[in-house]
Amino acid sequence: MRKKVGKFVSIEGGEGAGKSTQAKKLAAALKKCGIDCLVTREPGGSKGAEEIRKLLVEGKPGRWDALTETLLFFAARHDHVENTIKPALAEGTWIICDRFADSTYAYQGAGGGLDRETVRRIESVAIRDFKPDLTLILDQPVEIGLERANARAGKETRFEQFGTAFHEKMRAGFLDIAKRARERCVVIDATGSEADVAEKVFAAVAARFGIK
């Protein structure tokens, strides 16, 4: 009998959208349904990728240009996919990932001005166009997200320091991705309470994969 392969769900959105919180809530809800889950994140999720993460999320906004960021993100992503995501999926574990490749298209592409084809070509080499089974895009007004994000303490605030215009372009980039990949992406209104958003997230996952 062939072993069942896990599902790969990514959660996307701008700063302060609640991705990490919703990833954990979704995993908890799925576990109640008897589904084994692994919550992971990007950049990061594997030993090598976590080392690269510090280069990307700490420091001044102008530390890297969009192309350098994209190369760093996909270097981390390659390590993450090969050493964490694919092995877990092969064991039948579901992956719930806080960000994946769509973030690069939205941040470095739409926000940073790097053309989509360049990102696509790097993606093709680094992860061979490996995609999630379902992507949930948590959408909210930029000002709300930045207010929430800036309320957090810690060193990982590099992208929060980018101007509002950047974040508006990034938000538009995510919505464009949703239109381009309607079969994979679901946009979730993230302006409600954590509980309300969690309910919408689980409903989208349950509908896609037939969970009762």
What contacts 64, CB < 8 A, 6 or more positions away?
55, 56, 72
Whole-number pLDDT of residue 2: 56
- Please list the ranges in the chain whose pLDDT falls under 50: 1
Beta strands 37-41 and 8-13: pairing type? unpaired
Nearest-angstrom CA–CA distance, 62 and 162: 9
Sketch out the chain's domains with CATH numbers: 8-209 (3.40.50.300)
Residue labelled with tokens 């997230």: 201
Whole-number pLDDT of residue 153: 62
Structure tokens, 178:
């949703």
Nearest-angstrom CA–CA distance, 146 and 75: 27
Asked whether 85 and 8 are in contact (CB, 8 A), the reply is yes
Structure tokens, 18:
């609640």
Nearest-angstrom CA–CA distance, 207 and 212: 9
Whole-number pLDDT of residue 3: 66
Whole-number pLDDT of residue 129: 84
How long, in residues, is the chain?
Answer: 212
